[in-house]
Copies of this chain bind each other. A is one copy, B any other.
């Protein structure tokens, strides 16, 4: 199988197509990363203009998902990839779904930034901002691991998500206390809660992408397995 692949690559054209599709995924990832940063900036500054820019920018993320998916189907039909080439295409089609959903999370965060009532709740936004910065770093590192197809880093990042989960739980407790103390503020605090939830989901999406990286590099589907099993699969 791997030999057949090599022969195909010698033609050069197929290799170029695979490089091109990888680059397009990374471009999409870069755009989503910018959307995440800007949505968080919009939220902490309650900047309505920037929030609207993020919301308007989502259609570009969506368009990239559809275009890359189409290109993947075209490559499968035309090039009949096998082994690692096929795994690359499969990993890519799955990755872009998660990137698109991170884009949706950014829209959710940006919409929260439009809630004018929040200008009286600035302290609540600080915790979201901190968690948001953590999620942004995680996304950035995940896209780096994707660019270098580094399964070991992907595993480390996968584990990292539990820290984000704990931060999220802390924020939920904080918001709950706040609502109990000031029940009139419940509607806007719930808005903050949805934003926190969206940030937490970014971490889950990064975990998914890390699983696809490991699948591509090691040829093992590690979804729904324990870290012990994953490490065995990765020979760590």
Contacts and interface: CB of A to CB of B under 8 A. Distances in A.
Interface string A3-45: 0000000000000000000000000000000000000000000
Interface in A68-113: 69-70, 73, 76-77, 80-83, 86-87, 90, 93-94, 97
A148 interface: no
Q: Taking the full assembly, how many copies of this chain does it contain?
A: 2
A65 B208 CA distance: 14
13 contacts: A73-B86, A73-B90, A76-B76, A76-B86, A77-B83, A80-B80, A94-B97, A97-B97, A172-B190, A176-B186, A179-B179, A180-B184, A180-B186
Given A94-B97, A176-B187, A183-B183, 6 more contacts: A62-B224, A66-B221, A66-B224, A73-B90, A77-B82, A180-B184
